Amino acid sequence: MVFLTYWFVANRNLRQQNILLLLASYVFYGWWDYRFLLLLVSITIINYLVGIWIDSDNNHKRRKILLIFDLIINIGVLCIFKYFNFFVDSFIDFLSIIGYTLPKSTTQIILPLGISFYTFLSLSYIIDIYKKNLQANRNPVEVLLSLSFFPIILAGPIQRPSSLLPQIAQKRYFNYDKAVDGIRQILWGLFVKVAVADNLAPEVDKIFQNYADFNSSTLFLGIVFYTIQIYSDFSGYSNIAIGTAKLFGFNLMQNFAYPYFSRDITEFWKRWHISLTTWFRDYVFLPISFSISYRMRNGNIFGIKRDHLIYISASIITWFLTGLWHGPSYSFILWGLINGFFLIIYHLQLKQRKKLFKKFGINNNNIIIVCVETFITLCIIMLCWIFFRADNIQEALFYIDGMLTRSFFSLPELMPVKAIFFSVIFIFSEWIQREKEFALQIDRVSLPALRWLIYIGCICLILFLGGGNQKFIYFQF
């Protein structure tokens, strides 16, 4: 309905197009819970106003105060809604360790959908203006739309206003090829979400909830399934969001670039949830690195090279925050830190590795080396996912312990045919289409009838064999 109104009724001028999209975004968000719509509108209006104030003020001190004020508002709201219970419970736990016992907090704050995503959009808007990378837009509709555009509001991609605003400020014209590509991307997103992720979800839940009852190979199968599930679930949503935006004439950034085919952990994080990792790189990692480097003297410190020390410190802080961004729990924080640890290890061994390869005359692109490294990277990622999926750290450790027994070499106790079938189809399609933006981009199939057959096949698999009603995993963040 919005699509038809957008192109048939509101296509006369830019203002109409933007107003319609803003209204659609608010209706879409308010549909989940109208109370949180007020929060979204308030935050975006505050950011709009602060953006103008910072931009129009030349006094550095005042600009800084305004920036800090805005950061407090945005991060404060995020902390209250997302981390309040966690901080209070952690504080009570800490007090109990030193001998003071307080009753557990009974206040449970409901998490507004997509709060982490739109807070990050707002933060990047204000920081970019402060750094003079972006001029504050005076048009309220355009700014509010860039901070609450409905395809990206719930679970990203975190499309920064600096790249979205110029598109919003220009009138969109219908483009047939773009619309076809968009609808194809939506179809692929639906396929990986409904047919792949939702069929894997019950198996993963069964294994993780009863991990003590299963043998090692089943637990291993469980984590393999979860590795595919979380990717298909989240990339599915991203594809739907990007495809929907294309239907309205927008280009959003690619959020996943076949991450499981990465050779090393650094490459993985360049291909996984790209919008979030680049956000953390630009607004946390690099500023921290620069800040530390200004304060640190040259030479070795505690026997560690200065550059390495800067990298290690910035990585630890960034990955601690990345873990915390995903949720208020110690297991997420540990998941982030483990990823940071492997990234540091990878960074530290790079030079030695190069020397070693040169010494023994090993070609870096040797197929065996590539395969072994890809496999090791995948194992590391799967290990990390155990902490991400488990309810707490203790459970994750028990899960790993349960996985490392002799029964690892026996047959799994579960063999869900449907889940395995869809996993294989998914991985295979991703592999053969890895040069494309998404796997269903089948322009090179010249026969239109064959292309339609593939689309019909996808829809039939979704309709006839799709899994149950499962929420998107990343909606909780």
Partner 1 sequence: MRTDLRRFLGKCLLFGVLMVLLISLLFKISDFAIKQKMPQFFKISNDINIVFAGDSNVECSINDSIVKGSLNIAQSGEAYLYSYVKLRELLDCNKQIKTVFIGFSFHEILKEKEDLLLFQDSYIIEKIKLYNYLLNKTEKGLIFKNNHLAYLKGFLQSIFNNVVVFAKSCASTDSRSILVDFGGYLYLYGNKLKEDIRLQENTKQESSGKSPEKGLQQEKYLKMISQLCRQKSVRLILLNTPKHSYYSNRITKEIKDNWLSVRNSLPQDSLMELSSFPLSDSCYYDITHLNCIGANLFSKYLNEQIYFDKTDALEKDGD
Interface residues with partner 1 (CB under 8 A) are 7-8, 11, 173-176, 179-180, 183, 213, 452, 455-456, 459-460, 463-466, 468-469
The residue among 317 and 459 lying less far from partner 1, judged by its C-beta, is 459
Please give the Cα distance from 342 to 285 (Å, whole number): 16
The residue among 99 and 103 lying less far from partner 1, judged by its C-beta, is 103
Min dist. Cβ of residue 87 to partner 1 (A): 24
Angle, CA of 11, 14 and 20, to the nearest 5°: 70
The residue among 94 and 174 lying less far from partner 1, judged by its C-beta, is 174
Min dist. Cβ of residue 32 to partner 1 (A): 18
Please give the Cα distance from 231 to 423 (Å, whole number): 11
The residue among 251 and 349 lying less far from partner 1, judged by its C-beta, is 251
Catalytic residue list contains 326: yes
Burial class (CB in 10 A: 0-12, 13-18, 19+), 58: exposed
Min dist. Cβ of residue 464 to partner 1 (A): 4
Min dist. Cβ of residue 7 to partner 1 (A): 6
The residue among 446 and 469 lying less far from partner 1, judged by its C-beta, is 469
From the list 60, 273, 308, 326, the catalytic residue is 326
Is-contact 335 387, C-beta < 8 A? yes
- Alpha-carbon distance values, 199 to 89, 165, 380, 423, 456 (Å): 35, 38, 24, 9, 19
Q: Give me 93's structure tokens.
A: 């736990």
Please give the Cα distance from 292 to 290 (Å, whole number): 5
> For the range 132-139, what are the long-range contacts, defined as Cβ-Cβ under 8 Å and sequence gap of 24 or more?
133/162, 134/161, 134/162, 134/165, 135/55, 136/51, 136/52, 136/54, 136/55, 136/56, 137/51, 137/165, 137/169, 138/52, 139/169
Min dist. Cβ of residue 387 to partner 1 (A): 23
Instruction: Please identify every residue annotated as catalytic.
Output: 326
